[in-house]
Amino acid sequence: MVKREEALALLKKNVTNRNLQKHCLAAEAVMRRLARHCGEDEELWGLTGLLHDIDWDRTKGELDRHSLEGADMLDELGMPPEVVYAVKVHNEHHGLPRQSLLDKALYAVDPLTGFIVAGALIRPEKKLAAVDVPFLTNRFKEKAFARGANREQMQTCAELGLSLEEFIGLGLEAMQENAKELGL
């Protein structure tokens, strides 16, 4: 399995959009926090979050290829099969079943990071520290807010045994702890 430093270099080499890199860093942070909460392997879950969109530059706009190429890339790097599969199934376009907690966590986390960032960006401070769980749960009900963050996908956190409030809280906590790296 690749180390975090190597994974970060791979991400920066393959994903050139700085905002998408930040999304992957945010996904890593939230996945690590969820791993701790669920008693799972924090390193494995973190790398899964960090590398889940590794193929984005190659497959941009082609949802039928996105995540399949990423999974192949990770397989070639010798990443564990559970990481490869979780990356493959985070794109619902393929209709593959999410089986493990890792699969389910990555799927739910993917839109959560953008939702939380949107919450920070509408605050005058434009900082994650200015955001709290009640603020985000209230915004969750507003369809116009963070329109691209799939609410149904986020609500699959129930498959992890988490309420939406708990899930948002864990995600926000993780991202606040990494606010400097995320630029927020």
Please report, for the chain, the start and end positions of each structural domain, with discontinuous segments joined by +: 4-182
Tokens of 123: 């605050």
pLDDT of 3 reads: 94
Tokens of 21: 């890199």
Are 83 and 47 spatial neighbours (Cβ–Cβ below 8 Å)? yes
Tokens of 113: 């990071």
What sign does the dihedral 161-163-164-169 (CA atoms) show?
A: negative
pLDDT of 61 reads: 87
Tokens of 5: 């430093």
* pLDDT tens track, the chain, 184 positions: 899 999 999 999 999 999 999 999 999 999 999 999 999 999 999 999 999 999 999 999 899 999 999 999 999 999 999 999 999 999 999 999 999 999 999 999 999 999 999 999 999 999 999 999 999 999 999 999 999 999 999 999 999 999 999 999 999 999 999 999 999 9
| The CATH number of domain 4-182, selected from 2.60.40, 1.10.3210, 1.10.1760, 1.10.3470 | 1.10.3210
